[in-house]
A and B are shown apart, each in its own frame.
Chain A
Amino acid sequence: MAAESPASKLPQRLLYLVPVLIFAVIASYFLWGLNPERDPRAVPSVMIDKPVPEFDLPPIEGMAGPGLGSADLRTGEVTLVNFFASWCLPCRAEHKFLTMLAEKMGVRLVGINYKNKALEARTWLAELGNPYQAIGADVNGRVGIDWGVYGLPETFIVDGTGRIRYRHVGAVDAYVMTEVILPLVRELSR
């Protein structure tokens, strides 16, 4: 190759550039693949910073209380709205953290019981305890669709004027409770 003519040198140099160019293409695909629109975990809710959808739900059949409606979320107090159901296993896991939030940390917590049979929901609440100030029964899941709920559990933070400010998809755990929800509730309450 010592006898290589200078003319053939340039194409050869270009050949060595091929790997880095291929990588650039692949990396740009990766970048595209990471865009938040595609991200299944933090599906950005179209509802963020919008007023809560109008709804008025009855209480769970056989339970005392007034049920839950959108008017209850415009009381001037920051409220945690939690979608739950007895058939949802992560809901069971997050229950103790929600209880802690409501009972130990004074956060106003309301629940929307999503596509759940009344008896099962009552049994579930009787077994684990009922931390919710009010519960609305969304038997056919209609309200859930309005809120953009796509799986359980989901938890929304609604400010005093009835605007949705944050949405958490999946179970609330110790970390989410202390590092995400509490600081935000405190901030919004100020």
Chain B
Amino acid sequence: MTRKRRRLYMVLAGMLLLGGAAALVLTALQENIRYFYSPSDLNTAPAGRSIRLGGLVEEGSVKRQDDGLTVTFRITDLAASVPVTYKGILPDLFREGQGVVTEGTLGPGGQFVAREVLAKHDETYMPPEVADALKKAGQWKGEGAE
């Protein structure tokens, strides 16, 4: 019987560990999910929460502020466009007209404050989320125009 009981304890300990890990995972997931928005549906995004915003960098919109560090640009999905500010060094492949994903929070006045700007290593790349957002926006516009 002791064998069985010991086995039971082992299984219990294992379950406890798994349960603890699962609880940990779930709470951490709650806090660290970042939803992806496109410029068109950004108005549904919660203010103050960390989100991702993706689209194309509007050409002619990238401007460096006087402090030399802050960069402002607009992200567009060809249907709507959002002003973004970012302080720091932009990734090498950040270019006007190219797809980009930024992470940050929606500030007052509809300004998106980016903490991180991600451009991909491969230049013909379009982040899947961006492509998707643009596709949606493009179709939505098409229907609206009729």
Known: A115-B59, A171-B124. A87 touches B138 (CB 8 A): no
B59:A85 contact, CB within 8 angstroms: yes
By the criterion CB–CB under 8 Å, are B128 and A146 in contact?
no
Q: Are A151 and B126 in contact (CB under 8 A)?
A: yes
* CB closest residue in chain B, given A146: B142
Bitwise interface map of A from 118 to 147 toward B, beta carbon under 8 Å scored 1, else 0: 000000000000000000000001001110
Q: Using a Cβ cutoff of 8 Å, how many contacts connect chains A and B?
A: 55
A151 with B56, Cβ < 8 A, contacts A40-B131, A88-B97, A144-B78 known: yes
Q: Could you tell me which A residues sit within 8 Å of B by CB distance? A: 38-41, 43, 46, 85, 87-90, 115, 141, 144-146, 148-152, 169-171
Label chain B's interface by main secondary structure.
mixed
Which residues of chain B have C-beta atoms less than 8 A from A43's C-beta? 131, 135
Interface membership of B127, Cβ < 8 A = yes
| Chain B interface residues (CB < 8 Å from chain A) | 56, 59, 78, 95-99, 123-124, 126-128, 130-132, 134-135, 138-139, 141-142
Contact of A152 among B97, B130, B132 (CB under 8 A): B97
Compute how far the CA of A39 lies from the CA of B142 in the bound complex, rounded to whole angstroms: 21
Q: Which residues of B contact A87 (CB under 8 A)?
A: 59, 96-97
